[in-house]
């Protein structure tokens, strides 16, 4: 990353990022990524800002210089309790565009789990800014249940809290299994 850039981190804090049956939640992985990248970018003479998002832009920290300032923001971000549970990347991307935020580079740290199409708004965002998506996935989400031979299981969607019955899933996203 060049010197003198403005970097913005868009951090998805919808309920699905608190999923982590493999031992570490996606939120914890987000925090680790932020604690490595943001100070390194700031150390190189760049401004760093943050957006916490769910199905809307929940919190905005304006880009600033300085590792101390960034460290203080990272503590606030780690402790932040989202007001909403759902994910709507389309709304967040459109809100960023409407606000005409100053940034050269935007990191989007998300599991990108949403039922709302965000392709067009992401394309618009990419036309205005350099965008780096950071895709978070728990290994549990992309594998099958090896020991389950069949039967019905009760699942709960972490974003909507809806329960539903299902058979041996091929892919899991933001659901938890109740046996």
Give me the pLDDT at residue 160, please.
Answer: 75
Q: pLDDT tens digit string along 124-176?
A: 999 999 999 999 887 766 665 555 555 556 666 777 777 766 665 544 444 44
What's the pTM value of the predicted model, to 2 decimals?
0.80
Q: Which pLDDT belongs to residue 176?
A: 44
Residue 178 has a pLDDT of 40
Give the closest residue to 124 by CA, choosing from 148, 92, 152, 77.
92
Pairing of β 105-110 and β 130-135: parallel
Task: Name the burial class of residue 84, with classes exposed (0-12), middle (13-18) and buried (19+) by CB atoms within 10 angstroms of its CB.
Answer: middle
Distance CA 122, CA 133 (A): 10
Return the closest-CA partner of residue 1 out of 33, 56, 48, 50.
48
Distance CA 24, CA 113 (A): 18
Kindly tell me the burial class for residue 22, based on how many C-beta atoms sit within 10 Å of its own C-beta (0-12, 13-18, 19 or more).
exposed
- Please state, in angstroms and rounded to a whole number, the distance separating the CA atoms of residues 102 and 75: 23
Quote the pLDDT of residue 170.
46
User: Each residue of 4-62: pLDDT tens digit?
Assistant: 899 999 999 999 888 777 778 899 999 999 999 999 999 999 999 999 999 999 999 99
| pLDDT reported for residue 118 | 94
Task: Quote the DSSP letter at residue 21.
Answer: T
What whole-number distance in Å separates Cα of residue 161 and Cα of residue 104? Answer: 37
Q: Which contiguous run of DSSP H or E holds residue 127?
A: helix 119-128
pLDDT value, residue 57: 96
């Amino acid at each position: 990353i060049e010197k003198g850039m403005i970097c913005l981190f868009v951090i998805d804090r919808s309920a699905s990022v608190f999923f982590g049956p493999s031992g570490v939640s996606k939120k914890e992985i987000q925090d680790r990524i932020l604690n490595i990248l943001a100070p390194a970018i700031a150390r190189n003479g760049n401004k760093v800002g943050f957006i916490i998002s769910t199905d809307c832009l929940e919190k905005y920290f304006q880009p600033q210089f300085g590792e101390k300032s960034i460290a203080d923001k990272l503590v606030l971000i780690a402790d932040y309790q989202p007001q909403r549970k759902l994910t709507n990347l389309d709304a967040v991307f459109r809100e960023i565009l409407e606000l005409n935020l100053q940034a050269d580079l935007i990191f989007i740290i998300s599991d990108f789990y949403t039922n709302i199409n965000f392709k067009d708004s992401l394309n618009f965002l990419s036309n205005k800014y350099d965008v780096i998506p950071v895709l978070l996935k728990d290994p549990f989400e992309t594998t099958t249940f090896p020991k389950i031979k069949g039967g019905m299981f009760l699942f709960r969607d972490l974003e909507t809290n809806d329960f539903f019955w299902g058979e041996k899933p091929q892919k899991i996203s933001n659901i938890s299994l109740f046996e």
